Amino acid sequence: MQKASTRSKLSSRLYIGKSTYFKIFLLIGVAVISAVFVWYTFNVIDKLQKSTRSQVVKYVKLWQLAASSTTGPDELQFIFDEIIVKADFPIIVLDENDEPVFWRNIDEISASDTSTQAKVFLKREVTEMIASNGRFPLEFGEGHVSYFCYGDSAVIRQLTMMPFIEIGIVIAFLLVALIGFQNIKRSEERHIWVGMAKETAHQLGTPITSLMGWIEVMESEATEAGGEHEESIKEALGNMRVDTGRLQRIANRFGQIGSVPETTEQDVNSLVLETVEYYRRRLPFEGKGVVINFTQGEIPKVQLNPELFGWALENLLKNALQAVDSKTGQIDIVTSYVEAQNQTHIEITDNGKGIPPAAVRKIFRAGFTTKKRGWGLGLTLVKRIVEEYHNGRLVLKKTRPGDTTFEITLPVDIDNKGSV
């Protein structure tokens, strides 16, 4: 059994290792793709900005040439209208007092808008233009200087946003891929669980049936033979019948994994008490100093599958027994009903060493265990039974040395409220 456990752990570690390598490979791939996208986009932006600046230099030279000759105002206006206006980037021309006198391709401001609000907006725009691209002087006569300012075109502004959009798309793709990978992994784990459970139920069924048959034969022969040992033989056979009945119950539990279990109204206190009594009888073997206290609250009946829910309770109680000291261990189980939430609560508290902080987030993960010989399936199974099969909730309410509490929350049918 220990070898099988070792092989299982080794296989699990190899699987986890492959999973980790896949995630690292995926992250590196995303980082490389994002870097290529960003580099290419900024390279295109840089080329467009250089092209725009080259056009601006030509426009300024052309305007300066026209202004330095005998060109009249009409010719200057023609140059401005036919050449400058055809530019696809924002342009603002300032006078010697830094007041806007010409502008084109300015968002939300038309070329003919001379309102105060427009001037204020243009001054803000030109401040950003100068900060990004500087300004080009235009000399008209002696001491008369204007300034040509420009900004990035709409295409460049849109391209500037592209790296963020690209990275966002890549991150979204990464998230979808990781979620898909996790879902596939969970689906595989679920199929493995179901397969193992069904096979275990099948393997247990045949020898249990055979044992029960042999017990009946032995009881019959003991009665017929009589003798001084008849009572002790019948007592031993009775205990064997109890144990084989329990084995049959375990096989039934495994058989229900992977299928929709049938639920009926059950007394939670009775189920908890049955589990507590079972482990109390085992305390001489688990630890003579361990005490199990059960405080029963007044709670309504709940729709449960007694086989599966009893299995969940046994796993939690077994974990608590393994966590406490064999001489000073104490386990407290409390049931209660919260009317405001219409929920039944079951708290299992132990005074064991607690769960390490690093393990708190992993305790419900399949295959994770802090035990030397554990399979890491107990709490995962409990969580699945409580949450998937009974629409409840299992949480680690608190944990520290000497005080660890697991809490099961179960919904109560409105029709059952009166049975508290």
Query: Residue 217's domain spans which residues?
Result: 157-256
More confident residue, 84 or 132: 132
Q: Residue 86: what pLDDT? A: 66
Interior CA angle at 86 toward 82 and 89, to 5°? 145
Q: Residue 395: what pLDDT? A: 93
Q: Which helix (H) or strand (E) holds 191?
A: helix 154-225
Which of 134-143, 274-283, 323-332, 347-356 has the least mean pLDDT? 134-143
Tell me: do 110 and 208 sit in the same domain.
no
Helix (H, G, I), strand (E, B) or coil at 287: coil
Looking at every residue in the chain, the average pLDDT score rounds to 77
Q: Residue 405: what pLDDT? A: 95
Here the tokens at position 259 are: 């299928």
pLDDT band at 332 (very low <50, low <70, confident <90, very high): very high
pTM of the model: 0.48
More confident residue, 83 or 3: 83
Q: List phi, psi (to 5°) of 131.
A: -65, -35
Taking a C-beta distance cutoff of 8 angstroms, is the pair 367, 374 a contact?
no
Tell me: do 410 and 269 sit in the same domain.
yes
Tell me: do 18 and 98 sit in the same domain.
yes
Tell me: do 15 and 112 sit in the same domain.
yes
Q: Residue 327: what pLDDT? A: 87
Look at residue 293 and tell me whether its pLDDT is greater than 70. yes
**CA 35/CA 170 separation, integer angstroms:** 11
Query: pLDDT digit string (tens) for 311-322?
Result: 899 889 988 998
Here the tokens at position 4 are: 């099988």
Helix (H, G, I), strand (E, B) or coil at 14: helix
Tell me: do 276 and 413 sit in the same domain.
yes
Domain end among 221, 256, 291: 256
Tell me: do 342 and 213 sit in the same domain.
no
Tell me: do 246 and 350 sit in the same domain.
no
pLDDT band at 409 (very low <50, low <70, confident <90, very high): very high
Query: pLDDT digit string (tens) for 93-127?
Result: 888 888 888 788 887 788 778 888 888 888 888 88
Q: Residue 141: what pLDDT? A: 62
Which of 80-84, 247-251, 402-406 has the least mean pLDDT? 80-84
Look at residue 227 and tell me whether its pLDDT is greater than 70. no
Query: pLDDT digit string (tens) for 210-224?
Result: 677 767 767 776 666
Q: Residue 6: what pLDDT? A: 46
Q: What is the CATH number of the domain that holds 304?
A: 3.30.565.10
Top mean-pLDDT range of 47-56, 121-130, 131-140, 143-152 = 121-130
Q: Residue 246: what pLDDT? A: 67
Tell me: do 385 and 271 sit in the same domain.
yes
Look at residue 416 and tell me whether its pLDDT is greater than 70. no
Tell me: do 244 and 297 sit in the same domain.
no
Q: Residue 350: what pLDDT? A: 95
Tell me: do 317 and 406 sit in the same domain.
yes
Q: Which of 317, 318, 320, 349 is nearest to 332 (CA)?
A: 349
Interior CA angle at 124 toward 123 and 126, to 5°? 65
Q: Residue 120: what pLDDT? A: 87
Q: Residue 268: what pLDDT? A: 95
Checking DSSP bridges between strand 330-338 and strand 343-350, what pairing results, if any? antiparallel
Domain end among 256, 275, 291: 256
Look at residue 1 and tell me whether its pLDDT is greater than 50. no
Taking a C-beta distance cutoff of 8 angstroms, is the pair 117, 110 a contact?
no
Which of 68-72, 251-255, 263-267 has the least mean pLDDT? 68-72
Domain end among 119, 152, 185: 152
More confident residue, 176 or 5: 176
Q: Residue 215: what pLDDT? A: 72
Q: Residue 7: what pLDDT? A: 45
Look at residue 333 and tell me whether its pLDDT is greater than 80. yes
Q: Residue 5: what pLDDT? A: 43
Q: What percent of the chain has pLDDT over 90?
A: 18
**Count of domains for the chain:** 3
Tell me: do 140 and 208 sit in the same domain.
no
Q: What percent of the chain has pLDDT over 70?
A: 67
Tell me: do 132 and 165 sit in the same domain.
no
More confident residue, 227 or 408: 408
Here the tokens at position 135 are: 């300004």
Q: Residue 303: what pLDDT? A: 92
